[in-house]
Chain A
Amino acid sequence: MSRYLLHRLWQSAVTLILATIVVFAGVRALPGDPALALAGEDRDPESLRAIREQYGLDDSWLVQFWQFVSHAARGDLGQSIRTGEPVNGMIAGALPVTIELSVLAILVAGVIGVGAGVIAAVRRGRPAEWAANALALLGLSVPNFWLGLMAILYLSVALGLFPASGFVPFFTNPVANLHHLVLPAMILGTGLAAVIMRQTRSSMLDALSADYIRTAEAKGLSPRAVIGRHALRNSLIVVVTIVGLQLGALISGAVVTERIFALPGFGKLTVDAVFQRDYPVIQAVVLVTATAYIVINLLVDLLYSVIDPRIRVRGES
């Protein structure tokens, strides 16, 4: 295994441990007796003791932390204090919806963002660049939950083009599934598309002024090969990083988007949990998000090193 990879793995592990400590500490910071908080409405001494037992609240905090980590590592994220359901089951049910939504949003944003970015860079100083820039500025400035409301109001309710809310699992009916998710994915993708567009444009401009582009032109390559192969390939390296960095924004956006379109995903789970003060669920949601963020960024970095041979080989040597 390469040194670079090991280094990244190590960094991610450190971050993950720190994140777990933060979540652990956060739970201890809940107002009042954590057992009371974790017990919710159900406050008879018997169940309080059970909770103290389960979370080891009478042990030293080091032992407690170990308990917390080992439970989490075994996939035991506790039980909802509202429904008594195991939290990992709830998460497992909600996560696929969110993942599908996010992947679709990234696809939409990638296609629009990279396309508009390339056009803006290549058509520098022409109306096309101006239009692409204006669109990106709007995309950055528009609150996407509002855009979602407007889309429901005008595209779904008034014109009936898309379902206004609800969800059909992909394996039940793929067409209906996509029909339900197209609009939310586009709404979720707007901000990301704007960021990708700006990044693509700027790195395309950098790439287009690079020496190797001059070489490509001097070789007699067609503009298509020069722009599409030589310049874009280099620009995409940066774009991939941006998607990694924007993941947090995407997760936040997914929460809101799911709320607006009433999609039974991770976001809905999160928001509901806050309002019901379902602390075990909140704790699990925060932990899972942080872990997902760290793992995905690690994967993005690995992808990055696949696209960029300089990193790949630097690590190998």
Chain B
Amino acid sequence: MSSVLEVRDLSVSFRTEDGSLSAVDRVSLEVGASEVLAIVGESGCGKSVTAMSLAGLLPRSARVDGSVRLDGVELIGADKRTLRSIRGREIAYIFQEPMTSLNPVFTVGSQIGEVLRTHLGASRQAARARSIELLKLVGIPSAERRVDDYPHQLSGGMRQRVMIAMAVACDPKVLIADEPTTALDVTIQAGILDVLRGLRERLGTSIVLITHDLGVVADLADRVAVMYAGRVVETAEVHELFAHPQHPYTTGLLGASPAAGRHADTHRLDEIPGLVPTLSVQPDACTFADRCGQAVDTCTTSQPQLTRSDHGLACWNPVGVS
């Protein structure tokens, strides 16, 4: 399968008052055409930073290394103009906070239309007509009327649909959805997931789905990458991962989440005991060692690297192998 998005050894560090802080470390990912890749991991493990770095959206304090190729075009180090022409057109984003991610002072129609006018040079009328179509596409009732609403007139779920409509306006190759349902009620989550599924099926959009929620993963994803403290520790096809998790962190996740595979009311990943380590405190050890029930001597002296195979793994002593 040819990849639409290919990430190799992506590292991100931030310049802060207390020196450099590494947030993402040599992450590699691949997303095929109309494939859904889920990235899971607990809060602060670097999922959003990874996502934002793909289209150069991190603040100036971030230092990004590695390679991100979109259909073979390198994005890391690309000039601003190129990046701008790609954002919103070939890579589009949906963020977690539907309440604040839309600009309160513009109508949703004008905010969707803005993308069309920027990238496709659409006229005001054409943009409006297309905005209405898009609103229908994401399942907003009476779209003709809603197009002139301001964000605060819409519910959270509706706003998230507007965000999706905005994101797919130019039919992007890759849609990056950063916890698109986390802030929403359970009943509304399912609707949003349906919209995403529909887009993948109808438009063939590849989706990078970032989530805390294993229920969502089981529901939508083809492949999963499990991140821990800035690194990918395990990656596999979704059924394989649920059936044969090998990294102790992954089994912990699945264990802490007995309802995985069922719907959205699952546990959150944060419930594994222990503290999330700050990255690069132990460069020569497995970052999970402190919390790991499987740890062996090597774990504290040497860092395991992700193997490059269909079921990639970074662990010295995988579960169910020895």
Tell me the A residues contacting B by CB distance below 8 Å. 210-212, 214-222, 225, 230, 233-234, 237, 307-310, 313
Is B228 part of the binding interface, using a Cβ–Cβ cutoff of 8 Å?
no
Specify which chain A residues have a CB less than 8 angstroms from the CB of B119 in the assembled complex.
Answer: 220
- Stretch in B26-34, B100-108, B295-303 with 4+ CB within 8 Å of A: B100-108
Contact: B103 with A216, CB < 8 Å? yes
A220 with B150: CB separation less than 8 A: no
Nearest CB in chain A: distance from B309 CB, A: 33
Complex interface bits, B74-112 against A, C-beta within 8 A gives 1, otherwise 0 = 000000000111111100110101001111111000000
Q: For chain B residues 19-72, which have a beta carbon within 8 Å of chain A? A: 55, 57
Q: Are A210 and B100 in contact (CB under 8 A)?
A: yes
B97 CB contact (under 8 Å) in A211, A216, A307: A211
In Å, the complex CA distance between A159 and B302 comes to: 78
Which B residues contact A (CB, under 8 angstroms)? 55, 57, 83-89, 92-93, 95, 97, 100-106, 114-115, 118-119, 150, 152-153, 163, 166
Taking A211-B95, A237-B105, A309-B105 as contacts, is the C-beta distance between A219 and B100 under 8 angstroms? no
Q: Which of B84, B105, B153 contacts A221 (CB 8 A)?
A: B84
In contact, B101 and A215 (Cβ under 8 angstroms): yes
- B57 proximity list for chain A (CB < 8 A): 214, 217-218
Q: Check A214–B105 contact: CB distance below 8 A.
A: no
**A218-B92, A219-B87, A222-B84 in contact; A313/B150 too (CB < 8 A)?**
yes
Q: Determine if B101 and A220 form an interchain contact, defined as CB atoms under 8 angstroms apart.
A: no
CA–CA, A72 to B296, complex, Å? 91
Contact A214 B88 (CB under 8 A): no
Instruction: Name the A residues within 8 Å of B95 (CB-CB).
Output: 211, 214-215, 218
**CB proximity of B61 to chain A, nearest CB, Å:** 11
Given the contacts A214-B95, A220-B118, A234 and B103 also touching, CB distance less than 8 Å: yes
Q: Is the interface of A mostly helix, strand, loop or mixed?
A: helix
B92, B105, B163: residue with the most chain A Cβ atoms closer than 10 Å: B105
Q: Can you list 6 A-B contacts with CB-CB less than 8 angstroms, sorted by A residue number?
A: A215-B95, A221-B114, A233-B103, A237-B105, A308-B105, A309-B104
Q: Which of A220, A233, A237, A307 contacts B87 (CB 8 A)?
A: A220
Whether the pair B115, A220 counts as a contact (CB closer than 8 A) is yes
Cα distance A28–B134 in the bound complex, in angstroms: 69
Q: Specify which chain B residues have a CB less than 8 angstroms from the CB of A212 in the assembled complex.
A: 100-104
B105 and A233 form a contact (CB under 8 A): yes
Would A219 and B114 be within 8 Å (CB), given that A212-B102, A212-B104, A234-B104 are in contact?
Answer: yes
Q: Given A219-B114, A225-B118, verify A310-B104 contact (CB < 8 Å).
A: yes
Kindly list chain B residues whose C-beta atoms are within 8 Å of the C-beta of A210: 100
Query: CA–CA, A144 to B158, complex, Å?
Result: 52
Given contacts A313-B152, A313-B153, contact A217 B97 (CB under 8 A): no
Q: Given A214-B95, A219-B114, A230-B103, do A309 and B87 touch, yes or no (CB 8 Å)?
A: no
Which of these, A230, A233, A310, contacts B152 with CB under 8 Å? A310
B118 contacts A221, CB within 8 Å? yes
| A215, B103: Cβ atoms closer than 8 Å | yes
- Whole-angstrom distance from the CB of A307 to the nearest CB of chain B? 7
> Within the assembled complex, what's the spacing in Å between the Cα atoms of A17 and B244?
78
Cα separation A222 to B103 with both chains bound (whole Å): 16
Q: Is the pair B87, A225 in contact by a Cβ cutoff of 8 Å? A: no
CA distance A230 to B103 in the complex (A): 7
Q: Which residues of A contact B103 (CB under 8 A)?
A: 212, 215-216, 230, 233-234
- The residue on A at minimum CB distance from B163 is A215
Interchain CA distance A309-B87 in the complex, whole Å: 28
Is B104 touching A220 in the complex (CB atoms < 8 A)?
no
- The answer to whether A225 and B114 have CB atoms under 8 Å apart is yes
Interchain CB contact under 8 A, A310 and B150: yes
Q: How far is the CA of A313 from the CA of B84 in the complex (A)?
A: 34
Going nearest first, the 6 A-B pairs with the smallest beta carbon separation are A220-B88, A220-B87, A219-B88, A211-B100, A212-B103, A218-B93
How far in angstroms is the closest Cβ of chain A from B64?
Answer: 15
A214 to B87, CA, bound (A): 12
Contact A219 B102 (CB under 8 A): no
Contacts of A216 in B (CB 8 A): 103
**Given the complex of chains A and B, what is the CA–CA distance between A215 and B114 in angstroms?**
12
B239 to A: closest C-beta gap in Å: 32
- Chain B neighbourhood of A214, CB < 8 A: 57, 95, 101
- Which residues of B sit under 8 angstroms from A309, Cβ to Cβ? 104-105, 150, 152
For A213, give the chain B residue with the smallest CB separation.
B103
Docked complex Cα distance between A230 and B115 (Å): 13
Complex Cα–Cα for A217 and B87 (A): 8
Residues on A with beta carbons closer than 8 Å to the beta carbon of B163? 215
Q: Which residues of B contact A237 (CB under 8 A)?
A: 105
Give the distance in Å from the alpha carbon of A66 to the alpha carbon of B55 in the complex: 70
Is A234 touching B105 in the complex (CB atoms < 8 A)? yes
User: In the assembled complex, which residues on chain B have CB atoms less than 8 Å from the CB atom of A211?
Assistant: 95, 97, 100-101
Please name all residues of chain A whose beta carbon is closer than 8 Å to the beta carbon of B102 when the two chains form the complex: 212, 215
Question: How far does the Cβ of A31 sit from chain B's closest Cβ, in whole Å?
Answer: 54
- Given contact pairs A212-B103, A222-B118, A237-B105, enumerate 7 new A-B contacts (beta carbons under 8 Å): A212-B101, A215-B102, A215-B166, A217-B87, A307-B105, A308-B104, A310-B152
Give the docked Cα–Cα distance between A9 and B88 (Å).
45
C-alpha spacing A18/B115, complex, angstroms: 52
Q: How far is the CA of A62 from the CA of B15 in the complex (A)?
A: 71
The residues of A that contact B105 with a CB separation of less than 8 Å are: 233-234, 237, 307-309
* B38 → A minimal CB distance (Å): 20
> When chains A and B are docked, how far (Å) is the Cα of A212 from the Cα of B108?
12
Provide the bound-state CA to CA distance between A87 and B87, in Å.
65
B residues near A308, Cβ cutoff 8 Å: 104-105
Q: Could you say which residues of chain B place their CB within 8 Å of the CB of A230?
A: 103, 106
CA distance A108 to B93 in the complex (A): 41
